[in-house]
Structures are given as C-alpha cells and as structure tokens.
Structure 1
C-alpha cells in the first residue's frame, strides 16, 4: 500500500543451508531426459523441510524446498487433513529455493509436492507430508479500533490502533510479529502491550495528515501461548484526516484550535476549579474519544443529598478521558470563560463554541491541556501520548521497527 512496518525474518537462511546436508525427503521419481546421451544426466535432487512424516511442526515454521543440480518448476503445499487450502510461497530468483509465507493451521496434515528439472531436461518429482502441532483452543480479536461505528474510518492525527483479544496472550512475540501496519506515507511506529489481552499501536509522532493506513492481523494459525492458536485474520483500513490540534491553558483560559498549522478558532474556556473536591482538569495530551450530542453528568463518588453532588444534562460534548472529562457547552459559566476556572473538571465553553467544536472534531484529534497540578495518566482513556517514545517501546515485544515501501 505504501510503507510497511516490517519484522526481522526467522532463521530461513540457516535452514536453507541445512537443506543441502540432508537426504532427499519423501517419495522421489525421475523421468525424462535423453537415454542416448553419455554419460546419463544427473537428476536434480529435491530437499524438503520439514522432513517427510514429521509431526508436531510449529504452525509458523517455514516450509523450505530446495533443488540441487536443477531448478524448481512447481511447488504445492496443501492441507490434506484437518484444514483446507494451500500455503502460499515465494520462489528465489535463481529458481533453486522455495519458501512458504504465512502460517499453517494447527492439528493439520500437509502434503508437499515439488517438481524440478536439470539442464538436460530430466525431471524429478517428490512428495512428502508433515503434521502440525495440535491446538488446545483458539483466540480471536474481540475489538479493533478505530471502527466504522466509532469514527467513520476518518480519524485525527493522534488516533491509536487498539486491539483487544478474547483470551490472554502469553506468546506476545508470535502475535506481534503478525500484526502488520502499512501506510501511504513513511511512518515509524510500534505496538505496546498494556496487559495480556490489550495491544495498541501508535507512531513515534502524530500521523502525517491525509495518510491511508491498513492494519493486517494475520493471526490464523498463529500461536498465542498455552496451546492457543489464532482463529482468523482481520483487516482494517482507515484514513487520517487533516491535522487539527487544540491547545488549552488553564492559566490563560483559552483553547487555540490549529488546523494544518493555521489558527482557525480561539475559544474562551473555564477549566476545573480545584478546591477541597480537587476538581482539577488533567494536564497532558488528550484525544477526542467520542462526540455526544447529549450527556448526563453525575458527580463521581458523591451521592444525592451530599455536599458537592450534582446531576445535569449537558449538550454537545467531546469526551477526552475516562475520568469524566469533556469539552462541552456550559451556558451557566459563560461569564467566567476566558477569565476563571469554575468547573468540576471539564472544559466549559459557550453553546456556540461547543456546537462548532463538536462539528469540527474528528475522533483521535489531540486536545492538549496545560497548567494544572494533575497529570493525565497514560491509561486514563487514550492517554497514549503521555508516554515518550522510549517508554512506549519498553512494552513492545519487538525492538526493531523500520519503514519501507510495500
């Protein structure tokens, strides 16, 4: 599609070298050639790994077929028991080696059929089989964001890719190796495990505006740990829209909205008033998480009749954290907006500005707040950008990330 986050290949080269030292596997037949030639042509030898009738083969093991004294004409690796379909593969430029791509199904038997020919035209054919390790169960993606329901698949420049699995993943390396992100513009990014079921992806810096992104979770047959294997593949395509970044200070009491670097709106605001209830707006890089025409807000941890209790209906809200922070319409505090902080922690703006903001915000747009004593936690909503790049990489299972054209 453009550029892809690539992972280092497994020991294919070493295995290919090993093929030259093992005996022919499977059943081999030689036919053709000209019997009048003296001496008779030496038939090409075909080597196959895994060896014939091998059992317990890992699903991500590379099938290698090599021809010695000739070139490969045809290689087919197809499931004959316990699964359907064939394994795709790629032939080397000189035609002497073929290697599979992707993963096999667990608990399945595969047949390898290969044909080679030498310079004199003698044809060698071989057939072998191998069986993969058995599965104790499967895992699948429970949720994948962004989604069409949430965003319409056009998102802001801060939007992460978020995957939640339905089972705990203990073989994170195998799973992460099969999560591919391709982009239409060069992007350096990495996956980050928040726990054994949750892995998210973000670039080192905000996405370039107007970037097309494809996420391929090639998980069918991939080991997730504990004998669990991926049940299916998933693909997600989305687009990053214009770059819109909003910055607000609780000291100057204004939001400044910049689109593609140009100021498009200055919005007077009122933030958390602090005080005994510690109604502080969090400082940090927030992301727009949802756009809600109507939201019912209730005081956290305070019941009816208690001091500080409130329950109110609020309009045109943009959620920026999981701890109940929004940018929203607050007609009751218009007199303080631009001058003082009087809210319970949300960012109050006028009804007209709230309508403009919700209409002009994409899910994933950065909203950066400064000036308060409370820092946004990285796990409070989508606080992914609260971790610097070094911290983000600390929770990745793969340490090398490069971008190149797909």
Structure 2
C-alpha cells in the first residue's frame, strides 16, 4: 500500500505551477503582482516603438507634432509662418537653415511646446527644418523637413514717389508703381498705411494694374508731414506674384504755392499760403497747340533744357517745326512737353498780349527764374481760359482734375 502524501504539499505544488503559468503568459496576475517575481520591468523609454499596454504602467502616449510648412512644400510664401507645435511632449532642439547655411532665428514658448520662426525668409531659397522632440517617457524623435520659397520669377517690387525724405508741394499725389500687375488690389491697399500730421485722410485711385496713387480730397496741408508705411512683403498681388519688401517713406510738404495761368488774360498769378506773391504777363499755347487745361503739378526743373520739335510729332516742312533749340529756366508740367520757361527772343514781343507757344507758358527771364528758384515739385498751376483738353492721367499728375467722388470710388 502506497503511502499517502500530505494534502498540503500537493496543493502547494499545484498553486506554484499555476502562478508560473500565469507569469510565463504575461497575464494580469503577473502584471498586478510583481512581488511574486523578481524579474525587472522594462522601461517604456527603452522601447521607442511601444504604444500598447505592456510591462510598463501606464502607457506613455507618443508626441504629436504639427509642423508648418509641410515637408517638400513649394512654392512657400516667404512671409508664411514657420512653426512647430508639440502635444504630449516638448521641443528639445530646432534649427532652420538655408542651403547656403544662413540660420533663421526663432522663439520657443515658455512650456517648450511651440516654436515659431522670428527671422525673415528669403525668396528663391531652399530651407531645411530640423527638430528634436521628447515625450514624457524621455523618448526622442528627430526629423528633418525641407521646403522651397517663391522663385525670383514671382517676386514683385515697386517704385515709390516722392522719395523718402523729399520735400514737395501741396498738390503732390503719392504714387506706387509695381513691377508686376496687381490683381488683389484690396490686399495691397490694406498693406499700405498712410498718415499725415495734419490728420488728412485720403484715398487710392488705380490708374492701371501696375500704378496706384493716393491723395486727400483737397490739397495737403502746408508744412505737414506724410508717412507711408508699406508692409508689402509676402502680400499676394495675384497670379502668383508676391510682394518682396516693407518700407517706410516720409514726405515733407512745403508752403502752399498755387499759380493761376490765364490764357485769355495772358497772366500768371502766384499765391503763397493764400497770400498774393505776384502776377506777371505770359504767352501760352496758340490755337493749334493750346495749353492743357485744369490743374498741372510741377514735376522737375532744369536750368537749361534741349527741346526737339520731332518729340511732339512735328515734321520738316511744318510751319510750326522749330527744329531743335535750347531754353532756360525750364520747369516741367507734363512729360509730353509742356513747361514754364524763359520765352525765346522771337516770342518776347508777344508776352502779355498773344499766345504763340506750343503749349508752354513763356515768361521774361526774371519771372521764369523766379518760378525756377521759388517753386518746386508738387506745387500747382491751374490753367484757365484755354481751348486745350485736360492732360491725360499718365501725362503728369492730373489727379486733381478728377472729381473726388470718382477718384475715391
């Protein structure tokens, strides 16, 4: 007869075997009862790919990234934000550099979860965007992305007049001429802020897709200062053209100098700050070449200038053809060829009584010199009692001949 084993010993062996089976299978008992085994628990950080329940408790969520621009993006507006945002982690390192090795500065927020480029990007440039992020378990993720900014072919520039620091008269409009057509006019206007020490408000008027001007309803206040703040860098002009600059321009307005040239009375009368400054006899455009009517804004001055009849369409054999000649004290009114200048000797007998010019305002030497020395760009001459038409908008600054309701529309 076989001897019976103690009941307790058999039950103990079975219990230990069950525990081992559970431990070997990674069951809930083993995870919840580590006191039954001395094996070390692997750290979540030592297994970067682990995102499901395992030996570590609790599971650490991987860092979630939002990166802009997207990898291999093109063409990227150089004014577009470059940023990195992290959820369930923090940013350890960010480097944004061009292929030429130029680094772009950036700012990391206080929590280390957001980085934004603060330096300006360049056109036609490839950038590498390298970053390292760390989740709360210490796992690091490093990555590099690249993107290309807008090419030089889509880079739009502009010329501004008056120039920065220039002093002009009260009738000078502000003009911006773009290198590329502007289709998004509203976006461009919103990017330009114009202020005056006089508090005058004005409005834009587009004469073409490439050229816009700005003026107030009435002349600028004498001795005021105008500031043009153009924030056009990155502005989409339309058709893929992107503005490439920001610029601040300061323009100084001088005394109010206004002249009235009367083609019927043959007089030229000047006022300075609304006070009479003189009235002199002149000769103006004859019946074939009447002087342009309305407001003409002085443009540029030349102590001596060379006139060529062919430039206004006169041909050999035409009785009005004067060939080529030199004039003194020439103050330009229109690009097409109207000036205030010293009358030729042949015209001197007609000053004050007959109009014999090709549209210019001819004066005696001393009066032409006075205008040359005392009036400047942006001062204005109002021509009255002439049979001539208004000068076209692109023939000088004819802005003041456009009614305000139409100009500001």
TM-score with structure 2 setting the length? 0.65
Larger Rg: 2
**Residue equivalent to 1:284:** 294
Query: Retained in 2: the 8 A contact 1:377–1:386?
Result: no
- From 359, 379, 389, the counterpart of 1:345: 359
| Number of residue pairs the alignment of both structures matches | 336
- Distance across 1 between alignment mates of 2:281 and 2:121: 55
Alignment pair present for 1:187 and 2:187: no
User: After the TM superposition, which segments of 4 or more aligned residues of structure 1 sit over 6 Å from their partners?
Assistant: 48-65, 78-89, 102-111, 129-133
**Residue equivalent to 1:257:** 270
Q: Greater helix share, 1 or 2?
A: 2
Q: What SS is found at the alignment partner of 1:353?
A: helix
**Residue equivalent to 2:256:** 243
Query: Retained in 2: the 8 A contact 1:140–1:231?
Result: yes
Query: Retained in 2: the 8 A contact 1:135–1:229?
Result: no
Q: How do 1:79-118 residues align onto structure 2 when only pairs under 5 Å count?
A: none
**Residue equivalent to 1:209:** 222
- Distance across 2 between alignment mates of 1:369 and 1:305: 31
Q: CA deviation at 1:387?
A: 0.9
Query: Retained in 2: the 8 A contact 1:105–1:220?
Result: no
Alignment pair present for 1:296 and 2:306: yes
**Residue equivalent to 1:306:** 318
- From 357, 371, 394, the counterpart of 1:379: 394
**Residue equivalent to 1:144:** 160
- Distance across 2 between alignment mates of 1:83 and 1:225: 31
Q: For structure 2, list consecutive stretches of 5 or more residues without a partner in the other structure.
A: 1-65, 85-93, 108-115, 132-144
Alignment pair present for 1:360 and 2:382: no
Change (3 A) 1:85 1:137: farther
Q: CA deviation at 1:222?
A: 1.7
- Distance across 2 between alignment mates of 1:205 and 1:51: 47
**Residue equivalent to 2:280:** 267
Change (3 A) 1:333 1:134: closer
Change (3 A) 1:375 1:86: same
- Distance across 2 between alignment mates of 1:358 and 1:334: 19
Query: Retained in 2: the 8 A contact 1:155–1:239?
Result: yes
Cα shift readout 1:33-71 (whole Å, capped 9, x = no counterpart): xxxxxxxxxxxxxxx998999978877778999xxxxxx
**Residue equivalent to 1:3:** none
Q: CA deviation at 1:369?
A: 0.4
Q: Please provide the CA RMSD for this pair.
A: 4.7
- Distance across 1 between alignment mates of 2:313 and 2:397: 23
Cα shift readout 1:70-127 (whole Å, capped 9, x = no counterpart): xxxxxx9x889999788999xxxxxxxx9x9x9997988899x9xxxxxxxxxxxxxx
Cα shift readout 1:156-208 (whole Å, capped 9, x = no counterpart): 01111222222222222222221222322202112222212212222221111
Query: Retained in 2: the 8 A contact 1:289–1:364?
Result: yes
